Chain A
Amino acid sequence: MIKQDDITFVARESLKRSGLVLSVDKGYLLESRLAPLARDEGYPSIEALISSARRDNSDRLLWAITEALATHETFFFRDNTPFDLFKNEILPVLSRSRGSVGKLRVWCGACSSGQEPYSLAMILEEERARLNGLQVEIVATDMAPRILEKAKSGVYSQFEVQRGLPIQRLISHFEQNGDQWRIKPNIRQMVTFKRQNLLENFGALGQFDVIFCRNVLIYFDTEAKKQVLTNLARQTANDGYLIMGAAETVVGLSKQYAPVEGRRGLYLRNDGPPSARKKFAAA
């Protein structure tokens, strides 16, 4: 058993670095997630890992702990609805307003091992003929370097490619290498991966037409949620979209965004043009 004192320490350091709230009763979570790290770092136990981090106040080790504690759960086309929304409602509107000379910019915040940005890239590839030459850039970020490396590689296990991915898309967009499946270069090249902590300044990423930030803020405390939403609004194009998880909301957290009626998880900027909102018929 990890000492309560150690749990409190780890929770505090992790909150400070990532905004992730670790409830202190989750000792089992700590054990299952830190055991592999302790082993990789050459410590005989989790206790030894934590006490070393405490003694040396090692920023590197504390970051590694923070990263290990984050939830990386994701799969292809997770929840379906946001992807249908992107394909059937957002893309047609934006491809008209941006035209063939324009460029569409999409951002996946906290992309984990890459399934979300690659799902969007597959849709874009399939819709290419209807996009009239519109250029699309997908930027995918995560705070955790290890998981980003996996995302960049585009290599997935047999188990991972069977969660959410229809077989037709597996055939069209992947190459097989033994029991591993690698996403094809044309899809991989559509996504640019970068390390970005959502609590730090991300102004340098530029403005986006569509921001996917799903199932991230649920792990943050209220203050961090407000801060991230304020910053996200700054990076959202005037007529751009924010897409959050089905169980998430901006209500009470952001004055910059307002939900689109009948489209769960979809938000527009409050100060955007009314025409952006009009495009959504009542569901």
Chain B
Amino acid sequence: MSTSSNITTTQETPEMNAPDLHLLERPPQVLNNRGPLWVTDAVCSIVEGKTPLWWYAAIAFTGTFAAIGGACILYMICTGVGVWGSNSPCFWAWDITNFIFWVSMAHAGSLISALLFLTRQKWSLSISRAAEAMTVFAIVCAGVYPAIHIGRVWFVWFLFPVPNSYGMWPNFSSPLLWDVFAVTSYLTVSSLFWFAGMVPDLAVLRDRATTKIRKFAYGIVSLGWLGTARQWRHYEMMYVLLAGLTSVLVVTVTTIVASDCATSVVPGWHATIFPFYFMVGAVYSGSAAILTLLLPLRLIYPQLRDLITSSQLDKVCKLLLLMGSCVGYVYVFELFNAWYSANPFERGAFWERFTGSSAWYAITCLSINLTVPQLFWFKAVRRCLPLVFVLAILCNVGMWFERFMIVTSTLTHDFLPSSWKDFHPTIVDILTATGTLGIFFTLFLLFIRFVPIMSMNELKATLPGAQPHGDAGHSNHSTEAMR
């Protein structure tokens, strides 16, 4: 829809001012009529250029937090879980809060790359690789907690399906064991999805490599990809299959994680809405995280503005709005359910949540998650990217408080008022949590620097004139495989 093919400077998409006639026309994947060569250069230049100074500064900063987090974990393992603020009756606190927070954030990445791929929502092409990377790194952060929260980590093999030294097998009906399988398979599948999708692009980096070390390294990881018609045939089939498997996995994993809470009989947790509650919350926080990651990238690398267009960001904002509204609905429904159940413990749990010692974070969570996403109804808000960035961070803060509220406020107020006890995080809790943030951003910085952050082959396949019938704009490249 760009008016001129000779535009050399980066421009915003003009469709926002276009007359109504253009409303039905799909905005182009890549703005300003860029060709395949330009796409390759734009994406590869991020990896091939000299390492910028900000990158060193950033990774030193995030790496420090990651290292402190690692030291805290080591300290916890050597000393015991007593160094955390977890107590009786709040046996789960920041460990499970952060586990749920991270694993949930991972879901939007899978959803954007897999589900939107299957439904031929091609606007997600340029952001899907970064979204998948976010998924993998968030699961890595989530995976830190289940292993260490058991306290005596050397007994972690009790979670594996093998008999222990007494010949006793794990309890397969326990949601905690389901968790182990869910998280393991989620990490495996999303890493495979991410890596397999990257192989053709790694081969591009191999072909363009100028130094021996780069050629060797990218040569190894690209597995000898040549882009033959046979390879593409199997590759496309694999991509469709993986997208299908991942889409199912997203729903399964959230459901299982929600079952950790829902299958207990604790008031405030024992609700059938939990899987849906976790699912929408997951996509909501993940969409916000994608915006938080992509907007600075777009600022640092101006060439990406033609690839991550404002119309695509607009769609992510709308996804955020939809999921944020679902989250709001669940909050209201949960309160209604507590009242309608006529169960004094259920009612009491929610009354305590909003009036007791947990009120400050419960109210923080509700006030952020009920209002902030609603601002995205306004086009002016969605188009103002600095504001979107701030709101997206706020959404994630809100979601962290939601996880904290679900886990802690419920556990601190169980059936017996005499056993109620508040939770206060210790410095080890706090530094471990910031440590996972450090791990996440360190991994993301490495991702930006060493692998192509966008799927070049998918983008090139959709450029005008990329396909023999000139139908690139109308059908997905997986059409053949999907038949």
Q: Do A and B come from one complex?
A: no
A interface with B by C-beta (< 8 Å): none
B interface with A by C-beta (< 8 Å): none
